[in-house]
Each structure stands twice: as C-alpha cells, then as structure tokens.
Amino acid sequence: MPFFKPLPSILTLLGVLSAACLFVPAAQAQNRGDDSLLEMHQAFRKNDRTRLTALLPQVQGHTLEPLAAYWELRVRLDTASEADIERFLTKYAGSYYEDRLRNDWLQQLGKRRDWPMVAAQHRSYRMKDDKEVSCYALAAEAILSKADVAAEAKRLWYAQKDADDGCTYLADHLHSGRKINGLDLWRKARIAMDANKPKAAKDAVDIEAPRLSEQVSLIFNDPAKYLDRHILAITKNRKELAVLALVRLAASDPDKAAKELDKRWGLMLTPEERHWTWAVIGKQAAQKLQDNASAYFAKVQKDSDLNDDLLIWKVRAALRQGQWKQVLTATEALSTDNRTDPAWVYWRARALAATATGDVQKQEAQHLLRSIASVKGFYEQLALEELGQTITVPERPSPLTPLEKGQAFANPGLQRALYAIQLGLRPEGNREWNYSTNLHTPGGMNDRDLLAAADLACQRQVWDRCINTSDRTKVAIDLEQRYPMPLREIVLRRSQGIGLDPAFVYGLIRQESRFIMDARSTVGASGLMQVMPATAKWTAKKIGLTNFTPEQITDKEVNVAIGTGYLKLVLDDFAGSMPMAAAAYNAGPGRPRNWRNGPVLEAAIWAENIPFQETRDYVKKVLSNTTNYAAIITGKPQSLKARLGNVGPRTSSAPEANADLP
C-alpha cells in the first residue's frame, strides 16, 4: 500500500487525532530495531551488500524500514532485476525513498541510453531536482519525439559546474542535430574554465573541436605560456582557446590578462569574444576589490553578450564606484529569474531613483520597492526602509487548528524524518523532511501546512527544520516561529553581561547552527556558535574561563560563553560595526580588515562586494536575522540600515587592531 494517502475531505478531527495517536505505540515499538538500523547505516557506508541483506529482515515494520530497504537495494542497483526495483517502488509508493530510488535508477538508465525506460520512469518522478536526470529526460524527449529541447538543455548544462554524463551527452546529441552551435559549446567551456572546472571545459571543447580538446589542460596549467606560443597560429577555434587562456589568466592576474587582450588579442577576437573576456577580467578584478574593475566592464559594449554571473559582478563593481547608470543597464540585461530576485530588484530601484529625470522613473522605483518590501530578508527589509517604514513584528497568522496540527503529526514522511534525526541520522532525516514539505506535492505544501509542519518540528525542538520550513511560507509569516529563541535565559544573561546585543547573538546562532546543539562543521567548528578549537582555547583565556578543556565546547553554557565572548572581542576590534564583525566571525578577522580598504561605502554595498559567496550571504543573513530578533525581543520598531552603517578604512581615531585575534 502507498505510504502517503490523501486525507478524505470528510475526515473528522477525531479521526485525524486517532490516526496520529497510532504513531505513539508504533514509535515505542521501534526501539528494538534501532540498533539493527544503525548497523545497516554503517554497512551502507561501507558498501557491504552481504551485511545489508542479512540485516534487512530485522527492521521489517520499523518506522524507517523504507530507508533500510533503500540502502539494501541501492548498493546492488547495478545488478538488481527490473522486477526487484518495481516491487520496491510499489511497496513504498508515495514515500521519499520511492522517489530517491527512482532518481538513482534514472541515472543508470540514462548511462545505459535506455531512452524508452527513461521517458517512462521520469513521468512518475516527483523531485525533479537532479540536473543530470533532467538532462537524460530531455535527451529521451529529443530522441523519441524529436522535441526541441535546446533552450532548456543549455540552461541545465550551464548550471552544472562539474562535468556529468547526462548534460554532456545531451549537448553532444543536440550539436550533432544542429540544435546548438559552436558558440553554445564554447560558452560552456568558458563558464567551466572560469569556475576552475577543467574537465567540464574539456568535455565541451571535445564536442566542438575534438582535436583541440587536449589543449585545455595546457591552458589550465599555464595560460600565459599558451598565449605566448599560439599568437601566430590563429583559426576560429584557436581564437576560442585563446579566450579560455585569457579567462584562466584573469583568475590569477586580471591586469595581466587585460594587457594581453588590449595589446595582442583584442583585434583577433570577435566582438562577442571580446565582450565576454573583458567581463571575466572585470569580474576577477571586482573579486579582488580592484578600483579598475568597472573600467574593465566599461569595455563591454553589449551587455546581452554576457551571462547573469558576469552581469551581477558588473552590478557589484558599479555599486562600489557609485555608478548608478551602469547598475541600471546591467540589471536590465539580467534574465527574468534574476530580474525578480529581491537583491537585483532593490538595486535596480535604487539606480532608477538615483538617475531619475522625472516622475515616471521615481514611480517605477517605488513600485519595485513595494513589490519586495517585507520582513522576510535582507533586501526586503531594506526596501521597507527605502519606503519610509520600519521593521516590526507582523501580526501572527491565525492559530493552527487541532485538525491542522493533527494532519502534520499524521504525515508519515515527517514522522520518519523526525525519527531519523532522533537516531542521529540527521542528513537522511533532513532530506525526507524537505521532500515531504517541498517536493512530494507539486509546488510544495501550502502556507498553513508549512506552519503546521514547522510547529511540529518546533515542539520536538528540531529547530533547523522548524526554521527552514517556516521560512518557506509565502504570505502567512509567523516571525516568532521563524526566529525561535532556545536557551533564552543563557543567551540573554551571557550577552547582556558583556554588553552585547542579544539580538545579534541570536541572529548569528540562527545562521551558524540553526540551534543544533551538537552541530559540527567540516572544518571542525562546534556547537551552537560554531567555535573552532583554537579560537575556543584563545577566547577562554581572554574571558577568564579557567580550567577550560576542548571537550567542553559542546556544553551549551560554555559554548555560548565562548561564542559571545569572541563575538564581543571581534565587534570591539571593528569599532562596533556589526557587518564587519559578522564577516570576521565567518571568515576570520584578517580578511574583512583588507576588504574595508577603499572608498567609504554603505555597508549594504560593502557586503554585496564581499569576494566570498559564503561570507557575502552570511553577513546579509546575520544582519537581517538580528533586526527581526531585535523587533521580537524589544517589541519596538527596528532599522536594518542603522545596524549596517558605513564601512571604510580604519580611521586614525579608531583603536588599534587586536593583532592576535584569531
């Protein structure tokens, strides 16, 4: 029987609650199978087929039986019969693991070039979030029905950073049928080279010019040498190889690449090739915060020759120089998806207001700001303030009914996810939770169902799922649900005791760990405030925490004490600048000390120009979180702009940097 059944419209409240209550004794009965399931998890990680098959009968009837059955079949999927696969898909129909296995099977079918089966299975595939599988499905459509899939194929292929079989095969097939041309292939190679992905670049070149594809490795290893040796050997394809070399050279030395393009290669390239290359040079200069980045972008005479990534860096470079006309033209050239992104809507509105010559432009700027203004995020909050409003806690949605809560409780996907997280299988639990809320139903759950699912996670103190789920509501915003405050007594006491804004602490924790008490990053940061071992040891000494040992860092009280102590030291080092302190907390203090050099900027512009994507997003989210937490904690209107302020070089009156700050 399917694991998911739609609740009948006439289902009574009593019926839902009775169904929900069935999970309690069922969950209690699972405990004896937990050890076997965890052993299966270890066997799956070791690819131990024999052990998985032996253990599977011991977890029959367990809440996480579908996960165990998936592990057992997944490791032998290459040899499993079609009947075995179909039995699994039927038995666990409607569950995440049905779709997860179908995804894996579609990958195998695509590699086998079994296009009728790819087409048949893809029709039942709900997640549709695997780009390689999507490329296989498009290949099946193009081969079986001769459909024109070129536009979608290029979109998917360009979005794939790493080389994969599905999108590369699709591109090759469409190129053979003259559905995509050489320029399409060379653009993919340029994007891959710029992203430091030589294999993906080589695969693209191999489709268009197989005899030249081996030269991609030479270009990647020493672009300057390649340019010197091939200045006289110019053909159409070799010009494109020169573009790849200039793209690669720009990554390490944009000024040297600019000289090469200006003096030796510019006249040999087509206008499109020149525009793209100048834009890559501008992007690399912008990422190094060079003042000449905008000058390089100014050499691009046709923005439509660029992709969105290059256009976005053109916007950033123009913002840094206060060039509002360039901001306006570059945002106009973005694709529809990015033109509706709140970041670029906001900057386009600001550019319109800054360059307005009449009421029409001013009214358009106001319209754009109103289209995004809310408390939801960084640019939405800035839009509110541009419209003369403040950030306040919106009226809470109407309370969840017992029926709505009961339906969330009775959702088997959510229950399995919570059980997996409880057992320590957090990645598996997170994936099933996200599937249940976002993907099982086309378009995901509606706002009321999301609020109910988030409430279920909050009640179980699974704060990351609570936050992520509540964040997805479109209209019904429950700010207190989105911004929970676990350990309130500890956080308020520790932060207020050292003169630190508790809203800033909560804003940072929400971004760092989502309140997962035992969170541990891939680089070794631990606990609520994700403190590195060396930083913890240094901070413990600074704040007078005696007898500190590394094992204590996961203790809630100790972690908050050290995290807040370090954050206060960082904040003081940057003269109270929250944006710079947040950047330092994420990337270390040395980098923002360098990033502050140059013109004095609005902190929003400074943050948008942070070279590291992770830190750029981190700073914006922490400051947005902080503003909402302040509204909740104080009950008073708040200003994100006031927290941002300006960022520029350290003034002579500012205190000296704490040189040993880690």
Active-site amino acid positions: 512
- CA–CA separation, 105 vs 87, rounded Å? 13
- CA–CA separation, 510 vs 485, rounded Å? 9
- CA–CA separation, 341 vs 29, rounded Å? 48
- CA–CA separation, 126 vs 136, rounded Å? 15
Other C-beta atoms within 10 Å of 192: how many?
Answer: 27
The secondary structure of 243-303, three-state, reads HHHHHHHHHHCHHHHHHHHHHHHHHHCCHHHHHHHHHHHHHHHHHCCCCCHHHHHHCCCCH
- CA–CA separation, 487 vs 4, rounded Å? 36
Q: Which of 1, 19, 3 is nearest to 11 (CA)?
A: 19
Q: Please give the structure tokens belonging to residue 565.
A: 């102590």
640 close to 381: Cβ distance less than 8 angstroms: yes
Q: Which H or E run contains 622? A: helix 613-634
- CA–CA separation, 580 vs 532, rounded Å? 19
Q: Please give the structure tokens belonging to residue 264.
A: 């030796």
Q: Which of 35, 44, 98, 43 is nearest to 66 (CA)?
A: 98
- CA–CA separation, 311 vs 461, rounded Å? 42
The number of helix segments (H) and strand segments (E) in the chain equals: 40, 2
Helices (H), 123-253: 131-145, 150-159, 165-176, 182-194, 198-208, 215-221, 223-229, 236-252
The values of phi and psi at residue 526, to 5°, are -130, 150
DSSP-based three-state secondary structure for 235: coil
One-letter amino acid identity for 245? A
- CA–CA separation, 432 vs 411, rounded Å? 12
- CA–CA separation, 119 vs 485, rounded Å? 48
DSSP-based three-state secondary structure for 391: strand
Instruction: Please report the DSSP string for 421-487 in residue order.
Output: HHTT-HHHHHHHHHIIIIISSTT---HHHHHHHHHHHHHTT-HHHHHHHHTT-SS---HHHHS--TT
Q: Which H or E run contains 602? A: strand 601-602
Helix axes 150-159, 131-145, angle to 10 degrees: 160
8-state DSSP, 34 = H
